[in-house]
Amino acid sequence: MLKQKILRTNYFFFYRGLYRISSPSATLFDVWRSIVLENASMEAVMFCKDVSDRTEGDFEPSHHIDKKIKACCLHLKNACNYKVQDNSETSFMQKYLLPYLNEIYMVNSQKNSVCAMVDGVEESGNFPDWKLGYKKSKNKSLFIFFVEVKRPGQTSKYQAEDDYVKLTKEMKDSLDEQIELGFDSPFSFGLLVEELKKKGYMPRMIKKFSLMQEVEDAVNIPAMVETLVFVKEKMASIDKMFRDRSRAKPLVKFMKPSFHTEFK
125-134 pLDDT tens trace: 566 789 999 9
Query: Model confidence over 241-250: pLDDT tens digits?
Result: 888 888 888 7
End-to-end CA gap in the chain: 44
Section 230-250 average pLDDT: 87
Task: Give yes or no for residue 48 having a pLDDT over 70.
Answer: yes
Band of residue 18 on the pLDDT scale cut at 50, 70, 90: very low
Min mean pLDDT across 33-37, 44-48, 229-233 is at 33-37
Asked whether the beta carbons of 17 and 177 are under 8 A apart, the reply is no
- If one counts every other C-beta atom within 10 angstroms of the C-beta of residue 257, the result is 7
Section 179-207 average pLDDT: 68
Q: Which position has the higher pLDDT, 253 or 62?
A: 62
Sign of CA dihedral 87, 89, 93, 94: negative
How many Å apart are CA 102 and CA 112, to the nearest integer?
A: 16
Q: E strands along the chain, which residues?
A: 8-16, 113-116, 130-135, 141-149, 187-195, 205-210
Cα–Cα distances in angstroms (integers) from residue 70 to residues 51, 220, 222, 245, in the given order: 10, 12, 9, 38
What's the confidence (pLDDT) of residue 126?
A: 61
- Average confidence score pLDDT of the chain: 76
Query: Model confidence over 69-112: pLDDT tens digits?
Result: 999 999 888 887 777 665 567 777 888 888 999 999 988 887 88
Task: Give yes or no for residue 23 having a pLDDT over 50.
Answer: no
Band of residue 119 on the pLDDT scale cut at 50, 70, 90: low
Asked whether the beta carbons of 79 and 213 are under 8 A apart, the reply is no
Widest CA span of the chain, in angstroms?
66
Band of residue 197 on the pLDDT scale cut at 50, 70, 90: very low
